[in-house]
Each structure stands twice: as C-alpha cells, then as structure tokens.
Amino acid sequence: MNTEELYSIAKHLMSQDKGILAADESVISANKRLRAVGVSASKDNRRRYRQLFFWIPAIEENLSGVILHDETIKQNDENGKPFISILKDKGIIPGIKVDMGAEDMPLFPKEKITAGLDGLPARLKKYHKMGARFAKWRAVITIGKDIPTDACIDANAYILAQYAAMCQDAGIVPIVEPEVLMDGKHTIERCEEVTTAVLKKIFSELEKYRVDPRGLILKSNMVIAGKKCAIQPSAEDIAEATLRTFHNAVPEDAAGIVFLSGGQSALQATENLNAICKQQPEPWPITFSYARALQGPSLEIWKGDDTKLPEAREMFLKRLHLTAAARNGTYDPSME
C-alpha cells in the first residue's frame, strides 16, 4: 500500500470548487430511471445516458471524480473510446462502485445488509489495472419502529471496515457510504441520534482494522427529518445538526466528507449543502457526490431524444455550477 499515493488521490477528489458525480446506478436502478422518462431499458440506452454527461466539455472544472458501475467502466462511447479514457483525459479520476447491493438481513425484518465482500480483492485488483483509483460501498440504515438495531449497525460497520481495508491494500481510496434513509416520519433529532451512532461505530471498526483515515472519504447523508415528518427543518437547522454530528463522530484526520443527495430534490440538495458550507466547517473539506440531483433534471429534458442533447447538457452544467457554488457557500437562489 502506497500511503502517499492514497493521500494524493483523496486530496484531489476533495479539490476546491469540485465534487464527485455518482454515475454508478446499478442496471436495475438505471433502467428504472430510463423507464420513468419513457426510455426503453437497454444496455445501449444506458450507454447513451452516461454519454449524455461524459461528453460535456469543461465538466472537469467542477468534477474531480466520477463513480462508475461495473457495466459502465467497461463501456465505450459511440466512437469506440472507453468512458474511462474520456474521464482520464479530462483529468477526472475514475471510481467504481464495488458493493453488490443491499439485501434483507436474516432475522431482522425491514433491515438491510450489503453484499459483495466475496472475491472483492480480486475485483479491486482488476479495477485498479483498468484505471479506477477510488471505490464506493453503500450501507443502508432505515429508521423506524425499534430500528435500526445495534446488530444491523454493527454488521454494516464491520463490512464497511473490511471493504475499506481491502481497498487501501489494493491502492484504491475507499469512499465509505452509510446512508441513513430519509424514508419515514422520524424527526431531525432522531436522524441525528442514529447518524451519530452509525458513524461512531463505523470509525471505531475502521480504526480496529487499521484503515488510514487520511486515505479515506466519508459519504454521508445530511442530518434531516424523514419525508413524512410533520415538521420539516430549515436548511440552517440541517446544517447545524449535520456539523454537530460530524464533530461528535468523525475523526479530524479523515480526508474529507462528501454528501449524497438521496431523497432530496435538486434544489433542496443545493440549498442544504450551501447552508452547511457557509459555516466553513473544519477540519475536513466538504463537498458533494450527487447522482439524481445532478443528472435528474437533464434526464427529464433528454428523454432519449438526441435533438434535446444541447438543452439537457446545458441543464447539467447549470446544476453542476450551482452545486459547486454551494460547495463554497456562495450559492444564492437568484442564481437559479
């Protein structure tokens, strides 16, 4: 393991003015996105969906990395050029989603455990050879009646630590993503309690298995109320609760923190990120790793019609620039 190389990659991923595009939807999720806008689900349409974004000039001004799916990292554009080469030519670091998705946790109704550790070292070696320099693993934590249980938190924390150790051993920076879902009617206070407990357990396991926090990035949910909660907090309340959680649970020497947009609209994800970054949080750099909040508005315009590509790409660039502004705490609603 070359620790200095890991530190350098992590530092680049957390560059000023930049964030990470999560273009790593599974085949099932990508098909669902396409069908929702009337596009037939096929391997070629999934390729066209990715090409919509990767071909945009100057995205490297606000993107330091792109997380790919196993299918996408092996695909070429319509001219035969590998997607991974397109990104590298722009100075964007390719990453790879390596988990196999969340599955039902045996004997723990409504709770999930993430699969994919079997054979992971060999897959990481293959991805590193292909050019991937960081990876992502997502754990799913649900808030509900009597959940999450300690068993669910402990099991996912252990697996995340194993994944992260395997990544660093392979020369790949791990992004550790424990997502506390927005589904449900829980309060922001309950979300803070659960997110704090989850992060404390994860970083305890990471330390136990000698994962170097300086070569690791946390991908976190914001501390936010459930979608069905009667009281929805302001962006300022979300910022305060989120940063309080991080200061209580995240080591100061972690390489950085990136946010997922999960469940939020593009506007909400931008406004909440801006409120957090306006406070100039220390000691970590903080940025975004959005999927739907960046891609969704463009997909709604494109809908498989290539005559709409210029408009769709213009929308992506707009959302990317606005999110980058929020990453610096300089976003204003008048910019919409």
- Look at residues 274, 245, 247, 288 and name the one whose alpha carbon lies nearest to residue 335: 274
Name 39's Cβ contacts closer than 8 Å, sequence gap at least 6: 45, 49, 303, 304
Whole-number Å distance between alpha carbons of 216 and 231: 35
Q: Which amino acid is residue 273, in one-letter code?
A: L
The DSSP H or E segment spanning 45 is helix 43-54
Q: Strand pairing partners for 68?
A: 23, 96
Whole-number Å distance between alpha carbons of 87 and 51: 11
Q: Is the dihedral angle over the CA atoms 315, 321, 326, 331 positive or is it negative?
A: negative
Mark whether 219 is an active-site residue: yes
Catalytic one among 25, 97, 219, 271?
A: 219
Whole-number Å distance between alpha carbons of 217 and 211: 11
Catalytic one among 177, 205, 240, 271?
A: 177
Determine the distance from the C-alpha atom of residue 172 to the mean position of all C-alpha atoms in its chain, rounded to a whole number. 16
Tokens of 247: 């200061």
Distances (CA, A) of 313 to 49, 81, 301, 305: 11, 20, 9, 12
Q: In which residue are the tokens 């992004």 written?
A: 175
Q: Which residues form the catalytic set?
A: 177, 219
